[in-house]
Structure 1
Amino acid sequence: MSALLTPSRITSLQNRVERLVERFKPWSWLWPPMAFAAGLGSFFLVDRQQWLGVVLALGLLFAWLLLLSEGLISRWLAKRGHPTLPQGVTTFIAQMIHQETLFFTLPFILITTVWNSGQTLFAALVVGMAALSIIDPLYYKLAGRWRSLYFIFHAQCVFLVVLVILPIMLHLTTRQSLLLALVITVLVALPSFWHLLNKRSLKDWCLFFGLTMVLAYAAWFGRIWVPPASLWMTSSALSPAFNVQQRQPQGSIALTPQALQANGLYVYTAIRAPRGLSETIYHAWHHNGTLIDLVELSINGGREQGYRAWSQKLNFPADPSGNWRIDIMTDGGQRLGLLRFNVSDAPGEASIADGHINPSGLSGLNLRRFIPGRSSDVEASNGN
């Protein structure tokens, strides 16, 4: 092995890499749109051509392994007196991998973001990171001067790639993917704080451990702001009746207190998921900001128009007037979508539940949920 890694051969290999990088640089502007197109194609073709998503995901994982091992390889070569790649070359390679990651995952984030929620901030963060990765002066300043921020930037890219590819490759649920992505991100982000501490002191070790726990808790607490990159609510509707055989909402009423008490209300959602993925979602009913019902439903991926699921609320409070919100949530606490309506006796203020299926974003199972003090409160069903 040592005979193969002679200084002359390593120097020759280094020169070849440098020449290859110099030849590629004038064409590097093509890399982001190609990665974006690959991500867009993977998102929409993953059901019909699942191999495409798997191949792209494997390639992305391989690139990340190279990036993560670059520091170890450089130190190993330096200890043995071998030359290493110049900082500019390694930073350029890292930039290409960051661009590949950000622009590949960007379609998943943009399409699955619930834009009238806090997820907009997360999507804006990813867009900002993608823009920074293609602005060379800012990116190289980040990599050279602000190493802590650079580690955090890198950790966020790791979070994105794990969040997106695990449901595609391993059919993990969004909850499993989110938990694993958070754990890996915390581990990758730790080097950004490591050099700030004196590891010789027990006090500093305890502080470092506490900082790790705070970082992990903050990441988990903010999960509701993270779009479920593998799930997408394709359509939704509110209606006073429902055709179970055709899985179609029906009827139209003004949502007055009397109408709700007499008819109840159906909420219909269609959720798109990759083929082979089984998920648990929830319809969370809120009245004037207070959660009053949580309905569990199971969905399966593979249907292009989305897996159709619905729930019916039968009993309402004595005075149901006010603002209502139905959050469509994953088992991991990520929001898929939300529906709002207003209940009122005043003319023109009551929302209309007309059964119209509105597009969202760009043998059924029957079960009953019981709330203490009330019976037969909510019925939930779903079907493909």
Structure 2
Amino acid sequence: MPNWKTLLLRLAGLVQRYPGTIAAFGFISGVISFLTVERHEGFARGIAIIMLVSWIWLVFEQATRQRLAQRFGWTIPTPVLRYATQLIHQEGLFFVLPFLYVSTTWNSGQALFTGLLGAAALVALVDPLYFKWLSSRRWLFLTYHTVTLFAVLLTALPLILRVPTGNSYKLALGVAVLLSFPSLADLIPLQARWRKWAVVGLMLALGAVGWFGRLWVPPATLRLTKVAITTQIDSRDMEARNSLRTVGPAQMRGGGIYAYTAINAPLGLREHIYHVWLHNGREVDRIALDIQGGRKEGYRAWTHKQNFPADPRGRWQVKVVTDAGQMIGTLRFQVEDAGPTPAGP
């Protein structure tokens, strides 16, 4: 057994000496998974499974230490555990960032969520910040751990299980909240009954915050590859014939308006999404679409709106959202008396 301890301590020393290599591995694996998810689904799923298994180990590492101590009479050295935890945080965060970067709508609240995860990844890289500032504040460390686990699950579940994004959000949130129980129980000892209820209340609060904040969370495995507001669709080639930035009221009522979108999704993934039409910030229509993943250029689909308010002039938006309410992207156009204006390049 001393040989194992020596080996583990040496590994911890190497990680401490070259901390950037772990983060680089996590980032490279994320990029490879992102690039290969359409054509080499099995490889991408394999990386996602490795990430998920490592997180499961991290959640139950304390129970694993106790069992090893009872059965073999030795425990994993503390430095090894510290750096193993840092390693998993680095791998997880740098794995999900390539997915989140391309799926984030940057002029929305989603930029805050992705930006926070980017900042969390940088904290995991800097030992003084990670060990002296983050780890020493138990409540902050547990929050950091739970949010990162949620992001990993959000990205990994559609790749592993082919779960639609809306369902994967609910499942990721439920699993993250459930797996937060050991950490919360450690933070608030359960000897008294009121403390047990306090832990349950905290778990419910975490779930509520995660659910009501879903509009600010990008759908990690979905992204828009092409969009257009148009008056004509080439149904044979499934392409928009023109792309408009402004439309005249008469033209709008004459043939209606198409919202054209091409959405990239992993191979084998089927999604139920919505085009939500808004006029001056007020929802006026919600049209359902079914898409299927696997096409590199994105699954092409459109909605055709022909019914409009008596005065359609003003600011229009078409929000593309999942069935759980996560926003994939937004199309914008103006209705003005001046008539149609082509969209810029």
| TM-score normalised by length of structure 2 | 0.93
Partner of 2:329: 337
Q: Structure 1: any 5+ residue segments left out of the alignment?
A: 1-8, 359-384
Correspondent of 1:286 among 278, 281, 297: 278
CA contact (8 A) 2:189 2:195 kept: yes
Q: Structure 2: any 5+ residue segments left out of the alignment?
A: none
Distance in 1 separating the partners of 2:11 and 2:193: 47
Partner of 1:367: none
CA contact (8 A) 2:12 2:79 kept: no
| Letter in structure 1 aligned against 2:167 | Q
CA contact (8 A) 2:233 2:239 kept: yes
Correspondent of 2:173 among 178, 182, 201: 182
Identity %: 38
Distance in 1 separating the partners of 2:39 and 2:287: 31
Q: Deviations over 1:120-148 (max 9, x none)?
A: 00110110010000010010124541111
Structure ID, larger Rg: 1
| Letter in structure 2 aligned against 1:307 | Y
Partner of 1:160: 151
Q: Deviations over 1:177-234 (max 9, x none)?
A: 1111101111233455435546344444334333322221111011111111111110
Distance in 1 separating the partners of 2:154 and 2:238: 31
| Letter in structure 2 aligned against 1:127 | G
Distance in 2 separating the partners of 1:94 and 1:74: 14
CA contact (8 A) 1:108 1:230 kept: yes
| Secondary structure, counterpart of 2:84 in structure 1 | helix
Partner of 2:38: 47
Partner of 1:13: 4
CA 237–198 in structure 1, closer or farther in 2 if over 3 Å, else same: same
Partner of 2:247: 255
Correspondent of 1:239 among 208, 230, 235: 230
Partner of 2:295: 303
Partner of 2:258: 266
* Deviation of the 1:317 alpha carbon: 0.3
Correspondent of 1:91 among 78, 82, 85: 82
Instruction: Within 5 Å, give how 1:1-384 maps onto structure 2.
Output: 9=1, 11-78=2-69, 82-142=73-133, 144-195=135-186, 197=188, 199-251=190-242, 254-345=246-337, 347=338, 352=341
Distance in 2 separating the partners of 1:77 and 1:252: 64
What is the root-mean-square deviation in Å for CA atoms of aligned residues? 2.1
| Letter in structure 2 aligned against 1:12 | N
* Deviation of the 1:260 alpha carbon: 1.3
| TM-score normalised by length of structure 1 | 0.84
CA contact (8 A) 1:238 1:353 kept: no
CA contact (8 A) 2:15 2:22 kept: no
Higher RCO (C-alpha under 8 Å, 6+ residues apart): 2
Q: Larger helix proportion, structure 1 or 2? A: 2
CA 333–155 in structure 1, closer or farther in 2 if over 3 Å, else same: same
- Matched residue count: 344
